[in-house]
Amino acid sequence: MLWLLAVLCVGLVSAEQTSSGRKSYDGYQVYDIIPKSVEEVKYLRDLMVNTDYLDFWQEPSQVGKNVTVMVEPAKFRQLLVNLRKQNIYYERAISNVQTLLDPVWADIDRRQKAGMVFDIDDFNTLSDIYGWMLELAQLQCRTGLLCQVTNAGNAHDGNPILVFSITQAGADRKAYWIDATIHAREWIAPATVLRVLEALVHGTSEEAIELTERYNWYIMPVMNPDGYSYSWTNDRMWRKNRGENPGSTCVGTDLNRNFNFRWGTEGVSHNPCGETFCGTFGGSEPETQIVQNQLLRYGPSLLAMVTVHSYGNMWMFPWGNTVNHAGAVCDRSSDHFELMRVADLTADAIQSTYGTSWARGNSCEVIYTTTGGTDDYAKGVAAIKYSFCPELRGNGFIIDKSHIPLSFNEFWNGIIAMVKAIDG
């Protein structure tokens, strides 16, 4: 199996070396919008669901909470006219997105010209991530641990979805699950999780050694390998997977709206061109099916699962929907306050790292309504009590590599606090 995966990784390298065909974001603008009423929040959410020319970086959620949206050049005047008609406050945050992307592509071109290799302190291609995972398992696994890389299945375009397991002998050992990169453009997510993986395997601290002595770990750094690879070669801002949609020229499904639990009811688009398109049915995408199967497989042993996103400084948990999907009151799980206890201790530990501020709580209340998400499926179907969805640091998806160690330190402190809180 490892030999086969190594061959697959070699095959990925050539696909990621081209710099042709990159989407230009010249003239794309980003606006910050602050809704002043429930009606304005609803109006913005209707815009999000029913238009395909707006890309919401921070989605409409609450009165007074900032909404961030990117709009293509031909449509920004239309957006502003609509906002003015509704008397909704806005201000331009980025006048030309391409000016942020030019240094990104220049750095990638420079690194590739120099013979890019994996760098734990930088962002890395899919092939380099996979090659590093294999090397970590084969050559760097700490004595006493069993480190394995397995192919959980293939994404739409055939890229493998790899799971790194850290286990020890012994029956009935409890475990933790971490996945990342369900949304391709959230590069800080896999970069952060890879450092967690390194810490656990190398035993870089007493906490890391204790975590592997007491528990098994299953880590999937790149859930959406097709989309992630595409974000390196063609479109840095790509979000969805790369599956074709019958009857539409638009590609991709939002995998975090595609899980087969309360699917397609709130906070989703049924338009294949929309950024939050939920797919044709719950679990329609191979990537979603693979993660569902993994969560069901390991679910009985899992004390918690953490599905990592960016950005926004949040630590959230189910549910994502409103009561009876009526759109008025957010639905809370029967153990809401126990989940909140663990989330509070986790977020407090993260905040204490650098003095940042982190929201925490039910995802419907903290951010916005969603259905078909990973954490809801994990709790609702795989019966994993502590199912969490953090949004890592940053104020955008284009984030400097200097944030990687900072994000790791925050997230690592959060994981340690979470485990202690669950231990009671």
* Active site positions, annotated: 391
Alpha carbon of 251 to those of 72, 260, 271, 309: distances in Å?
A: 18, 20, 11, 21
Q: 173-190: b or e for each residue (b if 16 or more CB lie within 10 Å)?
A: eebbbbbbbbbbbbbbbb
Element (H, E) at 419: helix 403-423
Q: Which two tokens stand for residue 415?
A: 């994981």
Evaluate whether 228 touches 159 at the Cβ level (below 8 Å). Answer: no
CA–CA separation, 260 and 381 (whole Å): 9
CA–CA separation, 79 and 48 (whole Å): 11
Phi, psi of 232 (to 5 degrees): -85, -35
CA–CA separation, 301 and 1 (whole Å): 24
Evaluate whether 320 touches 200 at the Cβ level (below 8 Å). Answer: no
Distance between the two ends of the chain, CA-based, in angstroms? 39
Amino acid at 416: I
Amino acid at 274: G
Alpha carbon of 405 to those of 181, 219, 280, 401, 417: distances in Å?
A: 18, 19, 39, 8, 18
Evaluate whether 267 touches 325 at the Cβ level (below 8 Å). Answer: no
CA–CA separation, 186 and 409 (whole Å): 18
E strands, 311-394, are 314-317, 359-362, 386-392
In 3D space, the residue among 215, 223, 133, 222 whose CA is nearest the CA of residue 176 turns out to be: 215
Alpha carbon of 237 to those of 50, 110, 131, 228, 390: distances in Å?
A: 20, 20, 24, 10, 20
Question: Strands 302-310 and 146-154, how do they pair?
Answer: unpaired
Element (H, E) at 230: helix 225-233
